Structure 1
Amino acid sequence: MIAAYCSNCKTVELGDISQASTLPDDVMWIDMIEPTREEELYLEKALGIEVPTRDDMKDIEPSARLYVENDAVFMTASLVWKAETDAPTLTDVAFILVGKRLITIRYALPKSFALFIAALHRVPAQCRNGAALLSKLFETIIDRTAEILEISVARIDILSMHVFGDRARKVRRPSNYLEEKLRDIAGHHRLVSKVRDSLASMSRLMTFFYNVPAVQQDRDTKELCKTVSRDIQSLNEHASFIAGNITFLLDASLGLINIEQNSIIKIFSIASVVFLPPTLVASIYGMNFEFMPELHFAHGYPISLGLMVMSAIIPFFFFRWKGWL
């Protein structure tokens, strides 16, 4: 699908432009969403460029992601997609500057694009050209990334309260409670890792984009690029801080699991020590030697039972006095 946006922010559908060999002069942004080969060929013919394919966009080499060809600037970045789900992922998006037009090619629906399209009418008329639009689109992408990190921080804070807070209130929890929280921690770690990968991709792209002549010639666009680059650096530091908190939460959860397991093992260890003296008494009087004076003692059985009980009670209260129970 191809969505074309004119300088007056109105949308031109593919059916309105597919009959012409050239695009209308007032088309400033062409957004290609999962384009077919026919749509790619049409755009290549209309703009005189070679549109990168989906496989080309997956290439991780900088020379394949950031380059200039026939006066057209080609850039590819990895953006976070499905951040609100349990399976966040990265999607590659291509940005192409051809003259005063912006072309975007994507095979997913990142929320940042929907936010930018919704606010497109608020872009000043003098900024409705390819480079200026792209800088504002990058600003929206970084703002969306900041929002994802804020949501992640809030969820991690709630998760931390679940791991530590319930324990402080002595709330009885299921035996596999912390194991379930480990899965939640892994999900947060995956999201933050994807965000950091996306920020690294955007940082390389902004360095390249800043040196594009169309940016250097527009003071406002140049200043906006500087601001976006500073925001990327700040978000990188914030993402690193969040990753450190996640690592701490992971280590703490594993430590609490070990403490619970050690407590169970300690109970069995103390129980074996408590019942060891009664076992010793029973073993002594369970022997079948011919000459054992206590065998003919009238009160030998109750006395041996009393010895067994006392030998169990004394260690028990000793452990209580030491605070081991």
Structure 2
Amino acid sequence: MNQQSHHTDANEDLTEADANANEVKDDLAQVHDLVAKIRVYEEETRNQEGPRQELLDGLQREHRFRLRTFLAGLPTVAVAVILSALPEDDRAIAWKEIAEDRLDGILDLLAEDVAEELIGDGQHTSSKVMVNAFELHNGRLRQVTVDRPALFANIKPIWVDLVAPTARVRNWVGKHYGLEIPDPEDLTDLESSARYYVEDNGEVHMRSDFLLDLDAGSRNVAVAFIVHNDILFSVRSEELPVFRLQRLRARSQPGYVKSGTDVLLDLYAADVEYSANALEGVYGELEQVGTQVLRSAITDVEASQILAGVAEAEDINGRTRRSVLDTRRALSFLMRGKLLSEVQLSDVREILRDIDSLDGHTAFLFNKINFLMDATDSAININANKKIERLTILSVVFMPINVLAGMGGMSEFSTMATAFEWPMWLAYVFFTAFVMLVGGIMFFGLRHFEKRQPKRPRAVVSKSA
């Protein structure tokens, strides 16, 4: 059965499931309840410390496991219907708990906007060996999973995608097409001459960094591209949301791509779009951090959490900037090498304009991050100054007592108490009262003279007529 008929059947299945939504009503309620509990525990964890935080973390992991197990037992169509019915935030949580081997089938059943939103979340990665070939069929890309060399004889792909290929897999793919497939673990060259070049036989070699933004942290993943006999070969060490998004669009939209070079340009365009979404997330994080920083008082613990959040935002912003700058270099190489048609050149110029707009956002975010860093450092310094001030006040308040003790010492006080024939306990009671009296006089005296200090008048800004 071809891809088009499969897609049609999938849509019919989803329509039938929508018509019988009552069949998954209980399942939807169960998923919604589990997601709600996960969100509550996740929110509470941020506000707790120590054993209480560990307890909430354990409860959150337990409910995530329950959600994962429950979704694994549901049919693909039912999962798609549930995801479509959930609110956006709840949908993102449920999506992370779905097994990777079911993702593509579920994406085919979802509305296009919902599918792209879930792919853009980028929380599913894979490091397992995978070779997928894509050929044009009725204007769409048809995906063929290749697990042995003989399958290449029956297809004419425009794109061969390799994820974490072993040396054996790289060898038989390269041998079939007459080229050398690089090891994805060795894609670390920094010089432009080593990253972008054209072989004597016309092969185009490019190595770019794509952004991967996860909850656990962001990083850049190196990807090697080879254009050989109008076929695009892509090699990387793990799955990326950009590639999954490209596969979805090319499968669902006829005429979306027509050649391997079109696929390459669309991958770069999707990377820019993914980077823009990452920057939107940074804006949201910094807005929350800014609300905390601008409060009247910040504790040292809160300041440390703020600094951690700002540092994470700076890391994402820096990696995003690196990714889009790398994309710009790659597109400039294609333009200089005259490797594109007029239509493709127009697409490249549009992508470059999008990159230029992102440059302004990354620069603004860097400035905002520096401001929040400085503001948080100032709050920490203010807290430290308050502690020093308290210690200074204590030393000044008890300075007279220290002077008397230094002049005579406690032995002379004991002798003086004996001369007056006072009981020793009564003498120490009077001594303690005297210390408190002198300390109180010093404290309130300092407060009085501090309030009497003349205040600097505020500058008055005159309004021009």
- Root-mean-square deviation (CA, aligned residues, Å) is 3.0
CA contact (8 A) 2:299 2:383 kept: no
2:125 corresponds to: none
2:146 maps to 1:6: no
2:262 maps to 1:132: yes
Structure 2 residue matching 1:7: 3-state secondary structure: strand
State how 1:255-294 maps to structure 2 within 5 Å.
Answer: 255-281=378-404, 288=412
Higher mean alpha-carbon deviation, 91-100 vs 308-317, is at 308-317
Distance 1:56 1:308 in 2: 75
1:193 corresponds to: 318
CA contact (8 A) 2:250 2:256 kept: no
CA contact (8 A) 1:281 1:304 kept: no
Alignment partner for residue 444 of structure 2, among 311, 317, 323?
A: 317
Distance 2:384 2:351 in 1: 49
2:291 maps to 1:161: yes
Q: 1:296 to 1:160 in 2, by over 3 A?
A: same
Structure with the higher fraction of residues in helix conformation: 2
Distance 1:114 1:222 in 2: 24
After TM superposition, give the deviation of residue 258 of structure 1 in Å.
1.1
CA contact (8 A) 1:282 1:308 kept: no
1:248 corresponds to: 371
2:271 maps to 1:141: yes
Amino acid of the structure 2 residue aligned with 1:204 = R
Q: 1:47 to 1:211 in 2, by over 3 A?
A: farther
Amino acid of the structure 2 residue aligned with 1:19 = A
After TM superposition, give the deviation of residue 39 of structure 1 in Å.
2.1
1:48 corresponds to: 178
After TM superposition, give the deviation of residue 311 of structure 1 in Å.
3.1
Larger RCO (alpha carbons 8 Å, 6+ apart)? 1
Higher mean alpha-carbon deviation, 62-71 vs 93-102, is at 93-102
Distance 1:306 1:246 in 2: 54
Distance 1:11 1:55 in 2: 25
Amino acid of the structure 2 residue aligned with 1:72 = E
How many residues were matched structurally?
311
2:141 maps to 1:18: no
* TM, length-normalised to structure 1: 0.84
2:238 corresponds to: 108
Distance 1:306 1:13 in 2: 89
Q: What is the CA deviation profile of residues 40-90 of structure 1, one whole-angstrom value per residue up to 9, with x for unaligned ones?
A: 222222322222223542111211110111211111101122x12233221
CA contact (8 A) 1:278 1:307 kept: no
2:247 corresponds to: 117
Alignment partner for residue 152 of structure 1, among 269, 279, 282?
A: 282
Q: What is the CA deviation profile of residues 15-52 of structure 1, one whole-angstrom value per residue up to 9, with x for unaligned ones?
A: 4x721675733x11111111122222222223222222
Alignment partner for residue 330 of structure 2, among 192, 195, 205?
A: 205
Distance 2:143 2:308 in 1: 44
Structure 2 residue matching 1:210: 3-state secondary structure: helix
Q: 1:187 to 1:126 in 2, by over 3 A?
A: closer
Higher mean alpha-carbon deviation, 304-313 vs 151-160, is at 304-313
After TM superposition, give the deviation of residue 238 of structure 1 in Å.
1.4
1:222 corresponds to: 345
Q: What is the CA deviation profile of residues 289-315 of structure 1, one whole-angstrom value per residue up to 9, with x for unaligned ones?
A: 9xx9xx6699xx799777644432233
State the identity %: 25
Amino acid of the structure 1 residue aligned with 2:322 = D
2:104 corresponds to: none
Structure 2 residue matching 1:59: 3-state secondary structure: coil
Q: What is the CA deviation profile of residues 158-184 of structure 1, one whole-angstrom value per residue up to 9, with x for unaligned ones?
A: 12212333xx3x5xx665221232222
Structure 1 residue matching 2:190: 3-state secondary structure: coil
Amino acid of the structure 1 residue aligned with 2:237 = Y
Amino acid of the structure 1 residue aligned with 2:446 = F
After TM superposition, give the deviation of residue 99 of structure 1 in Å.
3.0
After TM superposition, give the deviation of residue 94 of structure 1 in Å.
1.0
Q: 1:189 to 1:64 in 2, by over 3 A?
A: same
* TM, length-normalised to structure 2: 0.60
CA contact (8 A) 1:56 1:64 kept: no
CA contact (8 A) 2:300 2:383 kept: no
Q: What is the CA deviation profile of residues 120-165 of structure 1, one whole-angstrom value per residue up to 9, with x for unaligned ones?
A: 1355527321112211111111000100111011011112212333
Distance 1:307 1:19 in 2: 100
Structure 2 residue matching 1:193: 3-state secondary structure: helix
After TM superposition, give the deviation of residue 193 of structure 1 in Å.
1.8
Q: 1:123 to 1:66 in 2, by over 3 A?
A: farther
Q: 1:98 to 1:159 in 2, by over 3 A?
A: same
CA contact (8 A) 2:300 2:380 kept: no
CA contact (8 A) 1:149 1:192 kept: yes
Structure 1 residue matching 2:172: 3-state secondary structure: helix
Amino acid of the structure 1 residue aligned with 2:133 = A
2:302 corresponds to: 177
CA contact (8 A) 2:209 2:223 kept: yes
CA contact (8 A) 1:189 1:243 kept: yes
Amino acid of the structure 1 residue aligned with 2:209 = S
2:202 corresponds to: 71
Q: 1:306 to 1:40 in 2, by over 3 A?
A: closer
Distance 2:433 2:285 in 1: 58
CA contact (8 A) 1:3 1:32 kept: yes
CA contact (8 A) 1:21 1:45 kept: no
